[in-house]
């Protein structure tokens, strides 16, 4: 478990490494989220100070982009593609099945902290629709049975 | 001598098991004591056959697909390493009609080479365009691109040569090349295939662009949804630096070009060039007013070329073979080839690169093989989530920017998504409004408020409430969004919505006569 000092140290190291890049804010936010799984609100002042921005500006950037999150995600993040190609191949049924199976809606995390569910608008896997992503792994031609098996695999 | 076996590392192939198949082949070969060399290539783009395994033989590469891990042992039994016959045999890869009928210029190497091998790239005619570019003047490089007739492949179809010329003629101490790799359109994956399957062609194209306009820094703005492309691009860029194809002295020319990949963060609107530049500058991706044009005042206020992946990846062959060679493909004012992406409910989805002029019907049936479900294809959306839906009566339209514009449709980035007759077009129109509401940057009112109101009105319509009031309201709202939004997101969301209403009024609960606008 990440403790408070370690978290701040991680962020300070990232900020020191990247702050002199041109347009450094997104690379910094990516690095923080890669390291911690999210961008904790208590790290915003550190990031803002290093880039000579206001906290509001940094918060504004975090909240603008769907990918950045300010709360800890579950152990696995499941993203279900909602876009047209997947809709044409049963994406809606898959979406309903995923929500029912996990018992959560989008932007929520299961009570046991295992799975977070997010919508995504196209994974570029449109020739193998419907598609989902778990972590960084993309899965194509996903049937409801395939999803159940994947879930079992990830829960193990 | 070991036999070379190809198993794609393309993320779509991986999404249906290519990594597991590659491992199974390696293990089975070890078990049997056979020496093989497994190369992870890009995809040939025949996705219904993925994972497609190829074996190099004296007669050429022989394909097997779609291979599952359970097939691996029987493939060895059938002596597939020497091209042996098996139930999954597809024969010579390049003789498969889907592949053979294509005109691959931009995708010439995709699926053939090892994506991160610079030697492989050069052995397959890579870096010939750059070599020529280093020997001619900047104006002549731009002239080749202008002569080729290349228009922006991201969707807007603006002539690339004009953009480059403007940047070339705008004096500045620093200029930039941006590759727009924020391929957010549903039904499109050609940028991803290039970046994962032949990253050097993009690097070469950007280097040529840098030389042409005196830009020393390039950025690839890559969507976060493509983590695999991020890794491959970075590996290829490192290899290009190591070999002197990037850096302070490109191939001993004394000219510098540096390249960096920057990741987006899941905002569709950042595919719009000014929003993209705001994002690269570390801000919220709010769309900018134009003018000033990015070519005059772009990234960090400096003259900037912003081109799509496919546009830039088409530059090396133009500089290698000349603008005239490329221009000789195509029809009308749509010159060259377009990598089309067949997606959605099709039997044979995939990447088809052809000269402009092929009809939608040929693509859907001759290549696509009809719907995957076997039901009639009822509607096709061309050009991503902001593209119009076309009914069967328009399937004979040739892929040509002007022919599509005449139908109030767009070619866009070349994505084609097919739907069978189970589709509810009112639901699709509602989805388009919802998508716009989710992705709007919020800067202009027609898009920010219009999309939310549009979603609410569509919800009423889907539930068949007050149609006499709501249908005219929807049209009026679309008119406002179309004519007064700041960028294409709000400005083109009416395309899918109104085309669905105009071509499929029955799904909206109105008769054809009643529907006259």
CATH of the domain at A96: 3.40.30.10
CATH of B425-515, one of 3.90.79.10, 1.10.357.10, 1.20.1440.230, 3.30.360.10: 1.20.1440.230
* B81: pLDDT strictly greater than 80: yes
- Euclidean distance between CA atoms B153 and B313, whole angstroms: 10
H or E element: which one contains B484?
helix B467-484
Do the strands A132-134 and A137-139 form a parallel or antiparallel pair, or are they unpaired?
antiparallel
B421 part of contact set with chain A, CB < 8 Å: no
Both A145 and A82 in a single domain? Answer: yes
Of B115, B117, B112, B111, nearest in space to B242 by CA: B117
Residues A24 and A87 in one domain: no
B279 Cβ under 8 Å from any chain A Cβ: yes
Task: Choose the CATH number for B330-420 among 3.10.20.600, 3.40.50.300, 1.10.150.530, 3.40.50.720.
Answer: 3.10.20.600
Residue A47: inside a domain: yes
Q: Are B220 and B133 in contact (CB under 8 A)?
A: no
β-strand B3-6 against B53-57: which pairing, if any?
Answer: antiparallel
- The answer to whether residues A59 and A80 belong to one domain is no
Q: Cβ–Cβ of A65/B282 closer than 8 Å? A: no
Query: What is the C-alpha to C-alpha distance for residues A28 and B60, in angstroms, rounded to an integer?
Result: 48
Q: Which DSSP state fits B149?
A: T
pLDDT beyond 80 at B32? yes
Q: Kindly state whether residues A49 and A88 are assigned to the same domain.
A: no
| Partner A contacted by B349 (CB < 8 A) | yes
Ordered DSSP codes for B209-276: HHHHHT--EEEEEE-TT-HHHHHHHHHHHHHHHHTTSSBSSGGGSS--BEEEEEE--S-GGGGSHHHH
For residue A70, being part of any structural domain is answered with no
A10 in any annotated domain: yes
In this complex, is the C-beta atom of B65 within 8 Å of any C-beta atom belonging to chain A?
no
Assess A153–B contact: CB distance below 8 Å, yes or no. Answer: no
Both A22 and A43 in one domain: the answer is yes
Return phi, psi of residue B477, to 5°: -65, -45
Distance CA A131, CA A85 (A): 9
What's the confidence (pLDDT) of residue B515? 63
Beta strand B337-344 with B415-420 is: parallel
ipTM metric: 0.96
Which of B15, B185, B419 comes nearest A139 by C-beta? B15
Residues 59-118, chain A, touching B (beta carbon < 8 A): 60-61, 64-68, 82-89
Question: How large is the average pLDDT for residues B80-99?
Answer: 98
Does residue A71 sit within a domain? no
Burial class (CB in 10 A: 0-12, 13-18, 19+), B386: buried
Please confirm whether the linkage preceding A130 is cis (ω < 30° from 0): yes
Shortest alpha-carbon distance between residue A30 and chain B (Å): 8
- Judged on CB neighbours under 10 Å (0-12, 13-18, 19+), B4 is middle
CA distance B365 to B372: 11
Contact B435 A125 (CB under 8 A): no
Q: Is residue A92 part of a domain?
A: yes
Give the Cα-Cα-Cα angle B38, B42, B43 (nearest 5 degrees): 110
- Name the residue facing B225 among A64, A120, A128 (closest C-beta): A120
Mean pLDDT of B499-510: 97
Is B266 touching A (CB cutoff 8 A)?
A: yes
A12 lies in the same domain as A37: yes
pLDDT of residue A79: 98
Q: Could you read off the pLDDT of B357-399 as tens digits, one per residue?
A: 999 999 999 999 999 999 999 999 999 999 999 999 999 999 9
User: Tokens for B138?
Assistant: 């900047």
Q: What is the mean pLDDT of chain B?
A: 97
Is A39 an interface residue toward B (CB < 8 Å)? no
- A105 and A129 both lie in a single domain: yes
Helix boundaries (H) for B71-189: 72-77, 97-100, 118-123, 128-135, 138-148, 160-168
- Specify the pLDDT at position A156: 82
Structural domain count of chain A: 2
In sequence order, the 6+-apart residues with CB closer than 8 A to the CB of B455 are: B430, B433, B434, B437
DSSP 8-state assignment for residue B82? G
- Quick one: what percent of chain B has pLDDT higher than 90? 98
Nearest chain A CA: its distance from B280 CA (Å): 6
Q: Calculate ∠ Cα B373-B374-B376, nearest 5°.
A: 105
Q: Which of B187, B451, B493 to probe the A interface (max A CBs under 10 A)?
A: B187
A36 in Cβ contact with A2 (< 8 Å): yes
Same domain, A60 and A80: no
Evaluate whether residue A113 is within a structural domain.
yes
Q: Using the 3D structure, point to which of A13, A33, A64 is the last residue of a domain.
A: A64
Same domain, A81 and A146: yes
- Whether residues A23 and A54 share a domain: the answer is yes
**Cα–Cα distance list, B137 to B142, B313, B482 (Å):** 9, 21, 42
Distance from CA of B322 to the nearest CA of A (A): 32
A64/B285 Cβ within 8 A: yes
Mean pLDDT of B66-94: 98
For residue B324, give Cα distances in angstroms to B98, B143, B145, B148, B328.
Answer: 27, 11, 9, 6, 6
Counting one residue from chain A and one from chain B, the pairs whose CB atoms sit within 8 A come to 150
According to CATH, what is the number of the domain B118-327?
3.40.50.11540
| Beta-carbon separation of A26 and B263 below 8 A | yes
Look at residue B513 in the predicted model and tell me its pLDDT: 62
Chain B residues within an 8 Å CB radius of A91: none
How far away is chain B from the Cα of A72, in angstroms, using its nearest Cα? 17
How far apart are alpha carbons B108 and B321 in whole angstroms? 13
Helices B190-197 and B309-321 sit at what angle, rounded to 10 degrees?
60
Interface check A139 vs B, CB under 8 A: yes
How much is the average pLDDT of B238-248? Answer: 98
- Domain B3-96: assigned CATH number: 3.40.30.10
Evaluate if residue B449 carries a pLDDT over 80.
yes
Instruction: Give A1 to chain B, closest Cα distance, Å.
Output: 26
Assigned token pair, A118 = 């997010």
pLDDT digits 0-9 by tens, B101-133: 999 999 999 999 999 999 999 999 999 999 999
H/E run at residue B445: helix B445-462
Which distant-in-sequence residues (6+ apart) come within 8 Å of A136 by Cβ?
Answer: B227, B228
**Would you give the distance in Å from CA A31 to the centre of its chain?**
13
Q: How far apart are CA B498 and CA B390, in angstroms?
A: 11
B300 in reach of chain A (CB within 8 A): yes
The beta strands (E) that lie in A69-120 are given as 76-81, 108-109, 115-120
Rounded average pLDDT over B438-460: 98
Domain ranges of chain B: 3-96, 118-327, 330-420, 425-515
Report how far residue B246's alpha carbon sits from residue B4's, in angstroms, rounded to the nearest whole number: 30
Same domain? A85 vs A137: yes
The answer to whether B174 faces chain A, any CB pair under 8 Å, is no
Query: Which residues of chain B neighbour A61 with C-beta distances below 8 Å?
Result: 282-284
DSSP codes, A36-61: HSS--GGGHHHHHHHHT--HHHHHHH
**Average pLDDT per block of 10 residues along chain A, 156 residues long:** 76 97 98 97 97 98 98 97 98 98 98 97 97 96 98 92
Cα angle value B99/B414/B322 (rounded, 5°): 70
B423 → chain A, closest CA residue: A88
Using the beta-carbon criterion (under 8 Å), do A65 and B285 form an inter-chain contact?
A: yes
Instruction: Identify the burial level of B248 via C-beta atoms within 10 angstroms of its C-beta, where 0-12 means exposed, 13-18 middle and 19 or more buried.
Output: exposed
CB atoms within 10 A of CB B285: 28
- Residue B419 contacts A, CB cutoff 8 Å: yes
For B288-299, the pLDDT digits (tens) are 999 999 999 999
Position A69 in a domain: no
Using the 3D structure, point to which of A64, A93, A116 is the last residue of a domain: A64
* Rounded-to-integer distance, Cα B450 and Cα B44, Å: 42
Q: Which of B197, B417, B429 to substitute to test the interface with A, most A CBs within 10 Å? A: B417
Look up the domain containing A50 and give its range: 4-64
Q: Is residue B423 within 8 Å of residue B469, measured between CB atoms?
A: no
Please report the residues numbered 308 through 347 in chain B whose beta carbons come closer than 8 angstroms to any beta carbon of chain A.
341-345
From A24, A40, A64, give the residue that closes a domain.
Answer: A64
Say whether both A82 and A60 belong to one domain. Answer: no
Per DSSP, the three-state class of B410 is coil
Contacting residues for B190 by C-beta, under 8 A, at least 6 apart: B107, B183, B309, B310, B339, B341, B351, B413, B414
Mean pLDDT, range B49-68, rounded to an integer: 97
Give Cβ neighbours of residue B505 (< 8 Å, ≥ 6 apart): B511, B512, B514, B515
Considering only alpha carbons, which residue of chain B is nearest residue A81?
B186
Query: Rounded distance, CA B178 to CA B305, Å?
Result: 6
Report the 10 Å Cβ neighbour count for A56: 10
Q: How many residues does chain A have?
A: 156
Q: What is the pLDDT of residue B511?
A: 78
Cross-chain residue pair A129–B344, CB shorter than 8 Å: yes
């Amino acid at each position: 478990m990440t403790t408070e000092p370690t978290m701040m140290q991680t962020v300070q190291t990232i900020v020191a490494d990247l702050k002199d890049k041109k347009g450094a804010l997104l690379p910094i936010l990516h690095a923080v989220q890669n390291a911690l799984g999210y961008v904790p609100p208590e790290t915003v002042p550190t990031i803002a100070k290093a880039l000579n921005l206001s906290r509001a500006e940094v918060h504004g950037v975090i909240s603008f982009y769907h990918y950045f999150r300010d709360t800890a995600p579950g152990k696995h993040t499941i993203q279900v593609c909602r876009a047209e190609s997947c809709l044409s191949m049963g994406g809606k049924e898959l979406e309903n099945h995923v929500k029912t199976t996990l018992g959560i809606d989008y932007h929520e995390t299961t009570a046991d902290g295992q799975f977070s569910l997010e919508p995504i608008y196209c994974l570029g896997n449109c020739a193998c629709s419907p598609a989902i992503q778990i972590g960084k792994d993309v899965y194509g031609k996903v049937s409801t049975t395939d999803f159940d098996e994947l879930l079992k695999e990830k829960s193990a | 001598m070991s036999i070379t076996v190809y198993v794609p590392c393309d993320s779509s192939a991986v999404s249906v098991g290519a990594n597991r198949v590659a491992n199974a082949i390696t293990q089975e070969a070890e078990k049997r004591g056979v020496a093989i060399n497994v190369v992870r290539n890009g995809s040939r783009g025949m996705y219904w056959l993925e994972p497609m395994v190829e074996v190099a033989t004296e007669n050429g590469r022989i394909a097997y697909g779609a291979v599952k891990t359970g097939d691996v042992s029987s493939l060895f039994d059938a002596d597939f390493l020497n091209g042996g016959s098996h139930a999954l045999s597809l024969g010579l890869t390049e003789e498969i009609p889907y592949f053979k009928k294509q005109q691959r210029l931009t995708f010439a190497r995709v699926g053939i080479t090892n994506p991160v091998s610079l030697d492989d790239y050069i052995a397959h005619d890579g870096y010939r365009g750059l070599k020529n570019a280093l020997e001619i003047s900047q104006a002549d490089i731009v002239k080749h691109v202008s002569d080729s007739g290349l228009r922006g492949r991201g969707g807007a179809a603006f002539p690339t040569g004009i953009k480059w010329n403007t940047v070339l003629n705008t004096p500045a101490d620093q200029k930039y090349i941006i590759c727009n790799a924020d391929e957010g359109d549903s039904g499109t994956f050609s940028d991803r295939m290039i970046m994962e399957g032949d990253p050097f062609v993009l690097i070469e194209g950007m280097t040529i662009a840098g030389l042409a306009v005196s830009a020393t820094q390039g950025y690839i703005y890559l969507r976060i949804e493509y983590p695999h492309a991020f890794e491959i691009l970075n590996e290829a860029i490192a290899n290009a630096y190591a070999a002197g194809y990037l850096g302070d002295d490109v191939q001993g020319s004394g000219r510098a070009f540096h390249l960096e990949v920057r990741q987006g963060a899941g905002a569709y609107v950042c595919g719009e060039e000014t929003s993209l530049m705001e994002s690269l500058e570390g801000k919220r991706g709010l769309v900018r007013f134009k003018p000033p044009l990015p070519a005059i005042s772009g990234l960090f206020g400096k003259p900037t070329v912003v081109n799509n992946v496919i546009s830039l990846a088409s530059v090396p062959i133009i500089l290698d073979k000349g603008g005239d060679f490329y221009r000789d493909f195509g029809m009308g004012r749509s010159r060259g080839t377009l990598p089309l992406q067949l997606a959605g409910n099709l039997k044979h989805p995939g990447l088809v690169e052809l000269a402009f002029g092929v009809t939608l019907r040929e693509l859907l049936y001759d290549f696509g093989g009809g719907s995957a479900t076997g039901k009639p294809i009822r509607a096709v959306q061309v050009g991503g989530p902001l593209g119009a839906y076309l009914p069967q009566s328009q399937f004979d339209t040739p892929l040509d920017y002007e022919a599509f514009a005449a139908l109030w449709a767009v070619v866009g980035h070349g994505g084609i998504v097919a739907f069978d007759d189970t589709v509810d077009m009112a639901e699709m129109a509602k989805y388009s409004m919802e998508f716009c509401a989710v992705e709007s940057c919020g800067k202009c009112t027609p898009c920010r408020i219009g999309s939310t109101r549009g979603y609410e009105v569509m919800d009423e319509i889907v539930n068949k409430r007050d149609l006499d009031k709501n249908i005219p309201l929807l049209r009026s709202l679309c008119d406002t969004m179309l004519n007064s939004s700041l960028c294409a997101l709000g400005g083109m969301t009416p395309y899918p919505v109104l085309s669905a209403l105009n071509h499929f009024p029955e799904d909206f609960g109105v008769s054809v006569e009643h529907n006259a606008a």
